[in-house]
Amino acid sequence: MTITTINQHKVFGGNLTQCNHQSNTVNCTMRFSVFMPSSASKENPVPVLYWLSGLTCTDENFMQKAGALRVAEQLGIAIVAPDTSPRGTDVPDDSNQAYDFGLGAGFYVNASQAPWQQHYQMYDYIRYELPQLITQHFPVSAQRAISGHSMGGHGALVLALRNRDFYSSVSAFSPICHPVNCPWGEKAFSHYLGDNKDDWQQYDASILISKTGRQLPMLVHQGGGDEFLEQQLQPQALLDAAKRKHYPLEFNMMDGYDHSYYFISSFIEQHLQFHAQHFKR
């Protein structure tokens, strides 16, 4: 698998590289960004955090706005931020170009319905193709964590709960916790996965947490002033499921914070420290 470097920047001593490649999983050219700390080398591979962004975002939002790179350099952690959906003129989009479906809104699922199934295989892309590509081209170790925001928080929780031996920890900001029962999730899942709601459950963290075996360290921050809190995000569903399962979820409701990257940048250091702690273990 080959990659092409689009641009590269020196930042806090490390290197931020934006790349693209031809994906065999989503059948288009995909773009991603990688931050490598200065400590990383072939002789000293470093652990890697995969960051999944939310609706309307690309690989650039987190790297530019989250304020994570200084801390990642200090902790010796690589960060990989993929795009949020397949892209290209041949990739189908919402007929009305809505922000919550189609391009920019892949929801980290494997679509089974036409015309989406040819390209919208984001679950397999994040779980299989992208890690193989990163391991091939960058000095990263076998220690991996995953995190994300909103739609990306949903994706991070789902991928971690379904792959507990692949990741050492998971965290999320303002995740969509119960997508089978919220407008964003219902719209995306009905198009990508069809009308059988039993098929949706494999992508719902509040359902998956009740079925989990080995418990993965989990950290969630939610803004109390988030405009999407009650209707779309529904963190209470995740909290209730974790309580029933006695799952050690560390959940933080932060009064006054909204859904933006101002919120993420306020607490991203705690998340990186959380993952660093579990990398060491």
Give yes or no: 95 in active site.
Answer: no
The rounded radius of gyration (Å) of the Cα atoms in the chain is: 17
Q: Which member of 191, 259, 271, 278 is catalytic? A: 259
Asked if 121 contacts 112 with a C-beta cutoff of 8 angstroms, the reply is: no
Asked if 177 contacts 126 with a C-beta cutoff of 8 angstroms, the reply is: no
Q: Which member of 150, 168, 174, 206 is catalytic? A: 150
Q: What tokens appear for 65 in the block?
A: 């706005």
Give yes or no: 204 in active site.
Answer: no
Q: Give dist(CA 241, CA 206) in Å, integer.
A: 6
Give yes or no: 154 in active site.
Answer: no
Q: Which of helix, strand or coil describes residue 31?
A: strand
Q: Which of helix, strand or coil describes residue 23?
A: strand
Q: Give dist(CA 187, CA 105) in Å, integer.
A: 11
Asked if 207 contacts 177 with a C-beta cutoff of 8 angstroms, the reply is: no
Q: Which member of 59, 83, 204, 226 is catalytic? A: 226
Asked if 144 contacts 47 with a C-beta cutoff of 8 angstroms, the reply is: yes
Buried b (16+ CB within 10 A) or exposed e, 119-143: bbbbbbbbbebbbebbeebbbbeeb
Neighbours of 248 (CB within 10 A): 10
Catalytic residues: 150, 226, 259
